[in-house]
């Protein structure tokens, strides 16, 4: 393949130097270099291993988690690093989520993926892992993106544990994030989805 591209490039350069069809040759050369550049980017992307690992957060992760939570305007109340699961992509901090425990429920919250790592399935892996940590008490989520959680067996509910009321007030009054008309909703895991 590289040999054929090399011969084609030599032909184009010869055509360019001879002055025949100069405009057409220039356009073809530009297109040729754009294609080579794209091929290099694709090759580089395909060469990445994109290995996602989940692990229990450590005390050393807390600063990164706090910074990301502040940037993403997520729930930063009553944080303890023991609550968090960390996602790493190729060894780099890429996302996180936690389970917050109440007397009568558990809440999946503070779920975030750093912008440059989005679209790689990290939130899906985090949600699946966090769901395994809430087996005794009902698992809830307070969110403005219910479509994400519906895929994992969560359904919107109107009646929810009283322990979640402060969280709903906090989200609505402190976090905001509903500039485009979105509303916070409470969801509960109703069915097991693999």
Asked if the structure places residue 102 within a domain, the reply is yes
Q: Could you give the 3-state DSSP secondary structure of residue 173?
A: helix
Mean of pLDDT values over 49-76:
93
Tell me, what CATH number does 104's domain have? 3.40.630.30
40 SS3 class: helix
Say if residue 19 is in the same domain as residue 110: no
CA gap 85, 175 in Å, rounded:
22
Sign of the alpha-carbon dihedral angle for 159, 161, 164, 166: positive
Q: Are residues 79 and 166 in the same domain?
A: yes
89 plus 185 within the same structural domain? yes
34 and 74 share one domain: no
Number of domain units in the chain = 2
More confident call, 10 vs 121: 121
DSSP reduced 3-state for 74:
coil
**For residue 112, what are the domain limits?**
52-189
Say if residue 30 is in the same domain as residue 66.
no
What would the mean pLDDT of 100-127 be, rounded to a whole number?
Answer: 93
Categorize the per-residue pLDDT at 58 as very low, low, confident or very high, splitting at 50, 70 and 90. very high
* Residue 63 domain-assigned (yes or no): yes
In a domain, 194, yes or no: no
* Same-domain status, 59 and 28: no
Which of the listed residues 47, 62, 79 is the one where a domain comes to its end?
47
DSSP state of 59: G
Is 40 domain-assigned? yes
pTM of the model: 0.70
Query: 105 and 15, same structural domain?
Result: no
pLDDT attached to residue 104:
87
Question: 183 and 138: one domain?
Answer: yes
Q: How confident is the model at residue 158 (pLDDT cuts 50, 70, 90)?
A: very high
Residue 29 and residue 116 in one domain: no
* Model confidence band, residue 42 (pLDDT cutoffs 50, 70, 90): very low
Q: Are residues 156 and 170 in the same domain?
A: yes
Residue pair 107/142 in contact (Cβ under 8 Å)? The answer is yes
User: Is pLDDT of 18 > 90?
Assistant: no
Q: Work out the mean pLDDT of the chain and round it to a whole number.
A: 82
Residue 106 sits in the same domain as residue 167:
yes
| 131 & 42 share domain | no
Q: How confident is the model at residue 130 (pLDDT cuts 50, 70, 90)?
A: very high
């Amino acid at each position: 393949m590289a040999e054929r591209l090399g011969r084609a490039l030599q032909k184009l350069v010869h055509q360019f130097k001879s002055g025949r069809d100069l405009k057409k040759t220039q356009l073809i050369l530009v297109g040729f270099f754009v294609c080579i550049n794209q091929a290099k980017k694709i090759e580089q992307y395909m060469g990445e291993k994109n290995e996602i690992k989940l692990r229990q957060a450590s005390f050393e992760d807390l600063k990164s988690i706090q910074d990301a939570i502040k940037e993403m305007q997520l729930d930063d109340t009553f944080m303890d690093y023991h609550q968090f699961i960390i996602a790493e992509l190729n060894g780099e901090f890429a996302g996180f989520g936690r389970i917050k425990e109440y007397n009568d429920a558990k809440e999946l919250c503070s779920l975030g993926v750093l912008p440059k790592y989005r679209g790689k399935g990290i939130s899906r892996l985090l949600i699946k892992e966090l769901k395994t940590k809430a087996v005794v008490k009902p698992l809830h989520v307070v969110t403005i993106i219910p479509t994400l959680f519906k895929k994992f067996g969560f359904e919107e509910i109107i009646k929810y544990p009283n322990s979640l009321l402060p969280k709903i007030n906090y989200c609505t009054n402190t976090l905001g994030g509903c500039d485009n008309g979105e509303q916070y909703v409470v969801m509960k895991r109703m069915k097991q989805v693999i």
